[in-house]
Amino acid sequence: MGYSFFDLLTLIGSLGLFLYGMKIMSEGLQKVAGSKLRSALAAMTKNRFSGVLTGVLITALIQSSSATTVMVVSFVNAGLLTLMQSITVIMGANIGTTVTAWIISIFGFKVSIAAFSIPLIAVAIPFIFSTKSKRKSIGEFIIGFAFLFMGLEMLKNSVPDLRSNPEILSFLSEYTQLGYGSVLIFLAIGTILTIVVQSSSATMAITLIMCSKGWISYELGAAMVLGENIGTTITANLAAIPANVSAKRAALAHLTFNVFGVIWIMILFYPFINMITSLVSQFGPGDPTKLTEFSNSIDPATLKLITSENSQLTTQQLALQSQLQSYQIATSYGLSLFHTMFNIINTFLMIWFVKTIAKIVTWVIKKKDTDEEFQLQFISTGLLSTSELSILQAWKELKVYAHRTEKMFKLVRKLYYENHESDFVKEFSRIQKYENISDRMEVEIAKYLSKVSDGKLGDNSKHELQKMLRVVSEIESVSDGCYNIARIILRKRDDNSVYNQDMNSNIELMMNLIDGALNQMNESMENNHISADEFNRSVNIENEINNFRNQLKLQNLTDVEQKKYDYQASITYMDIVVECEKMGDYIINVVEALNEATNIKL
């Protein structure tokens, strides 16, 4: 079997297509189906058992646990699933993949999603060239989905073809007589093989071939099956490479879940394998341990002859072939039952430790300051609490929202002074992510408040809800202002405009005023009300912002006439000043809403 440099480049290109598909699919998903899909998934994963069932059904439906885990990672990346919810779905996917194996064994039926990739791209093209952004997002999602599975299929086809050339692995028979050491060795081999061939089904086929050739025993085949459970997690971890920290944690949770499962089964390996052997022998097609013994009892030439598809066989050889096939079926059932029982028992053991797994992966993959992701902390799409408690939870979420907006403004200030090209691009990208997150938080919080308003509320609570809805809208406008300033800074950079020291000092002073206004707003929100002194301070800052804006407008006309800076520079300069003044208006609107809510309570 030759493997050229071209084959290696094809492998790398396939991986690139897979990762690019993951990125496009996740971005399209966020744009087109965020809130609706999040509600549906939240309902399907409202508890750990329904989450497991969801994973089983999806995997049985699409015939691939790798596909399920990749989609789960993309859902987490898009903020549609929490880490806890994703872990339960992944657990279900592990059971679902065993259902698939039995379907294949019994019915010989398997659907290749990759076969639909090109037709899916054809379907996506009209959407991609649509003038409506919603349709364009649908097209991006479909193309990302097609690229992802096309890349996954190409990835499988680009690795060395071990399935058609199992003789490459014949040397492994030298390591079969080391007792429990052999079990550990073949556990590692199963893991490595699955990572290489990117398919646990292909590794299972290789395992069966090795058993039928007499190279390894049924017990060592079972050890390889355990390794396949660990190796198959590589797909989700590859998918998480371009994703956010929660998606990386979800992929690591898949690995952690399988590793812990393998640890406990290795402690009970021989009793467990004996139980499976007994079940298959009594209720199945026969003793799965007899295959290796039978294969070793036949001379190699005869074994090769009876396993060849096109050989002309004698009556005696046909009888041997029939006997060999019956042993192969018994071994196949034994390994399938071993795989199924392990995953079911492991899931129903580990399901009680979902929180522990979540804590472990959170500790291993720590969140960095540069990690931005969307996840509501205090409110959910499930059943509402009591009206008063729901309002309290919404206030907590509003505080998080306000602090996120203040952090966004600090990023904008940092962007203004960033001179290094690559760092500028990274900072601008972070601000874009904050803007997307802000838009989605506004929608989710507003929808939640609308649901609360449908309940039975007193007059004070109704007024408070109205003020909260106003606060949500104004905070979102503040974040829009931050993003607008970032875009103006980008335009200034593209125009190669140079500001003099006075211009930079004026913008610094204006941004200091906005910073002070945001701090005052957040201090007031912490207490859900505002005192007279706090309100007066906010009004004074707003007046300062307005007066400073007016002063800079007049000064700008004089400075341009005196050619202290060119007209092009003055445009972006005044745009930043005006956008800051608008942010001041939005901030004082939040403060006024808090002041009205306080007066109503009084």
The pLDDT confidence band at residue 42, using thresholds 50, 70 and 90, is low
Same domain for 399 and 335? no
- 438: domain CATH number is 1.20.58.220
Distance, in Å, from the CA atom of 479 to the CA atom of 371, rounded to the nearest integer, reads 18
Mean pLDDT taken over the chain: 77
Residue 1 one-letter amino acid: M
pLDDT score of 596: 72
Q: CA triplet 181, 186, 189: central angle to 5 degrees?
A: 135
pLDDT score of 140: 83
Same domain for 243 and 291? yes
pLDDT score of 309: 56
Mean pLDDT score, 562-572:
89
Q: Is residue 375 part of a domain?
A: no
Same domain for 360 and 449? no
Mean pLDDT score, 152-168:
56
Fill in the DSSP letter of residue 367. Answer: P
Distance, in Å, from the CA atom of 265 to the CA atom of 325, rounded to the nearest integer, reads 29
Q: HEC states along 284-340?
A: CCCCCCHHHHHHHHCCHHHHHHHHCCCCCCCHHHHHHHHHHHHHHHHHHHHHHHHHH
Residue 286 one-letter amino acid: G
The pLDDT confidence band at residue 544, using thresholds 50, 70 and 90, is very high
| pLDDT of residue 514 exceeding 90 | yes
Same domain for 325 and 410? no
Same domain for 310 and 429? no
The pLDDT confidence band at residue 331, using thresholds 50, 70 and 90, is confident
pLDDT score of 175: 64
Q: Is residue 295 part of a domain?
A: yes
- Domain boundary residue, one of 364, 379, 407: 364
Q: Is residue 215 part of a domain?
A: yes
Q: Which residue has the tokens 């028979």?
A: 173
The top-scoring range by mean pLDDT among 69-78, 213-222, 413-422 is 413-422
Distance, in Å, from the CA atom of 387 to the CA atom of 401, rounded to the nearest integer, reads 21
| pLDDT of residue 258 exceeding 80 | yes
**Nearest to 378, CA basis, from 393, 391, 389:** 393
CB 154 within 8 A of CB 17: yes
Instruction: Give the CA count within 13 Å in the CB-facing half-sphere of 328.
Output: 20
| pLDDT of residue 574 exceeding 90 | yes
Mean pLDDT score, 375-404:
71
Percent of the chain predicted with pLDDT > 90: 14
Same domain for 440 and 311? no
Same domain for 397 and 308? no
Fill in the DSSP letter of residue 159. Answer: S
| pLDDT of residue 319 exceeding 60 | yes
| pLDDT of residue 512 exceeding 80 | yes
Distance, in Å, from the CA atom of 128 to the CA atom of 270, rounded to the nearest integer, reads 56
Q: How far is CA 86 from the centre of its chain?
A: 9
Q: Who contacts 459 (Cβ-Cβ below 8 Å, separation ≥6)?
A: none
Phi-psi region of 94 (alpha: psi -120 to 50; beta: other; left: phi over 0): alpha
- Domain boundary residue, one of 364, 379, 410: 364
Residue 127 one-letter amino acid: F
354: three-class secondary structure by DSSP: helix
Other Cβ atoms within 10 Å of 533 Cβ, number: 8
Distance, in Å, from the CA atom of 304 to the CA atom of 78, rounded to the nearest integer, reads 52
Greater model confidence, 313 or 405: 405
Residue 411: give the domain boundaries: 387-601
Fill in the DSSP letter of residue 520. Answer: H
pLDDT score of 65: 65
pLDDT score of 506: 92
The pLDDT confidence band at residue 601, using thresholds 50, 70 and 90, is very low
pTM: 0.57
Same domain for 333 and 437? no
Q: Is residue 370 part of a domain?
A: no
CB 516 within 8 A of CB 565: no
The pLDDT confidence band at residue 338, using thresholds 50, 70 and 90, is confident
CB 28 within 8 A of CB 136: no
CB 169 within 8 A of CB 206: yes
Q: Phi then psi for 286, rounded to 5 degrees?
A: 155, -175
Other Cβ atoms within 10 Å of 312 Cβ, number: 7
Q: Phi then psi for 417, rounded to 5 degrees?
A: -100, 5
pLDDT score of 475: 92
Same domain for 276 and 201? yes
Same domain for 60 and 111? yes
Q: Is residue 513 part of a domain?
A: yes
pLDDT score of 107: 47
The top-scoring range by mean pLDDT among 34-48, 118-132, 330-344, 491-505 is 491-505
**H helices then E strands: how many in the chain?**
22, 0
CB 365 within 8 A of CB 399: no
Percent of the chain predicted with pLDDT > 70: 73
- Domain boundary residue, one of 330, 364, 398: 364
Report how many domains make up the chain.
2
| pLDDT of residue 167 exceeding 60 | no
Q: Which residue has the tokens 């053991």?
A: 349
The pLDDT confidence band at residue 600, using thresholds 50, 70 and 90, is very low
| pLDDT of residue 48 exceeding 60 | yes
Q: Is residue 28 part of a domain?
A: yes
The pLDDT confidence band at residue 121, using thresholds 50, 70 and 90, is confident
Q: Is residue 373 part of a domain?
A: no
Mean pLDDT score, 122-135:
83
Same domain for 339 and 399? no
Q: Is residue 377 part of a domain?
A: no
Same domain for 446 and 496? yes
Cα 63 to Cα 124, 201, 245, 301, 332, distances in angstroms: 23, 11, 28, 38, 19
Cα 316 to Cα 23, 319, 403, distances in angstroms: 58, 5, 81
Other Cβ atoms within 10 Å of 365 Cβ, number: 18
Greater model confidence, 292 or 279: 279
Distance, in Å, from the CA atom of 163 to the CA atom of 233, rounded to the nearest integer, reads 20
**Nearest to 218, CA basis, from 274, 268, 292:** 292
Other Cβ atoms within 10 Å of 49 Cβ, number: 13
